[in-house]
């Protein structure tokens, strides 16, 4: 098998930091960004935020630039790998090909790699700039499989958000859902082949040849 990974909230604790960064940005604008509202926009591009949240007076790009600045100020001291990630990646790299599929742009991904040297874990890296359609569209996972030279039926997707789970299933992959703290309990995870509390616990399914 081959293994396709999301990034934010799955491999690293960035979802928590991104929420804090966005909360600070909207607070400065006199707006409250409740967790419930943030859940609606997780995994979407910033341009979609403006429409989803009914924001006026600011563009998606302006939100992105401002929140990225706040995020990376925090990330220098607070960004870390999620528990069990190294063990899972060591297994997957030994058993097949690996790819990273994220809606973040290449500059954001590069900044993450500068803080956490994990780029070498992946044979291919697909960013938001490589696709026309964001998750839940399967384009990113289809492109990853194509670049790896494998069939999607030979791939296992690891995702922490409903949009990513849907994208993986629509691509024809097996999907392991690891819901982030922001979206636990959502119905979108019901279509995943397996759902676990942490990526660390996915080792059980990997080691027991469930794919």
Query: Are 44 and 114 in the same domain?
Result: no
Query: Are 62 and 148 in the same domain?
Result: no
Query: Are 103 and 173 in the same domain?
Result: yes
- As annotated, the active-site residues are 6, 8
Query: Are 73 and 171 in the same domain?
Result: no
User: What DSSP element (H or E) covers 91?
Assistant: helix 85-95
Give me the domain span that covers residue 30.
Answer: 15-78
Residue 141 pLDDT exceeds 90: yes
Please state, for a pLDDT cut of 70, what percent of the chain lies above it.
99
What lies within 8 Å, CB to CB, of 140 at 6+ separation is: 101, 103, 126, 130, 131, 134, 167
Query: Are 62 and 157 in the same domain?
Result: no
Lowest mean pLDDT segment, chosen from 2-6, 30-34, 72-76, 142-146: 30-34
pLDDT confidence bin for 204, thresholds 50/70/90: confident
In the chain, how long is the greatest CA-to-CA distance? 53
For 164-174, write each residue's pLDDT tens digit: 999 999 999 99
Q: Which of 62, 78, 94 is the last residue of a domain?
A: 78
Query: Are 8 and 23 in the same domain?
Result: no
Query: Are 39 and 119 in the same domain?
Result: no
Query: Are 107 and 63 in the same domain?
Result: no
Overall domain count for the chain: 2
What distance in Å separates the CA atoms of residue 97 and residue 121, rounded to the nearest whole number?
10
Question: What pTM was computed for the model?
Answer: 0.88
For 8-23, write each residue's pLDDT tens digit: 999 999 989 999 999 9
Query: Are 23 and 33 in the same domain?
Result: yes
Query: Are 109 and 151 in the same domain?
Result: yes
For 78-131, write each residue's pLDDT tens digit: 999 999 999 999 999 999 999 999 988 899 899 999 999 999 999 999 999 999
DSSP type of residue 174: E
Query: Are 67 and 151 in the same domain?
Result: no
Residue 26 pLDDT exceeds 90: no
Query: Are 49 and 134 in the same domain?
Result: no
């Amino acid at each position: 098998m081959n293994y396709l990974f999301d990034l934010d909230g799955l491999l690293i604790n960035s979802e928590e930091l991104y929420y804090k960064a966005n909360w600070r940005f909207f607070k400065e604008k006199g707006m409250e960004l409740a967790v419930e509202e943030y859940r609606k926009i997780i995994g979407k591009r910033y341009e979609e935020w403006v429409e989803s949240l009914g924001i006026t007076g600011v563009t998606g790009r302006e939100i992105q630039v401002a929140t990225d600045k706040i995020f990376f100020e925090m990330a220098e001291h607070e960004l870390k790998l999620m528990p069990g990630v190294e063990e899972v990646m060591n297994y997957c790299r030994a058993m097949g090909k690996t790819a990273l599929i994220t809606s973040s742009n290449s500059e954001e991904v590069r900044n993450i790699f500068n803080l956490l040297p994990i780029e070498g874990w992946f044979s291919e890296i697909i960013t938001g700039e490589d696709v026309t359609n964001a998750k839940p569209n399967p384009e990113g996972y289809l492109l990853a499989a194509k670049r790896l030279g494998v069939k999607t039926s030979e791939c296992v997707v690891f995702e922490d958000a409903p949009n990513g789970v849907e994208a993986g299933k629509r691509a024809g992959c097996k999907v392991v859902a690891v819901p982030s703290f922001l979206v636990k309990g959502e119905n979108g995870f019901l279509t995943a082949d397996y759902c676990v509390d942490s990526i660390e616990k996915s080792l059980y399914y990997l080691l027991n040849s469930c794919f």
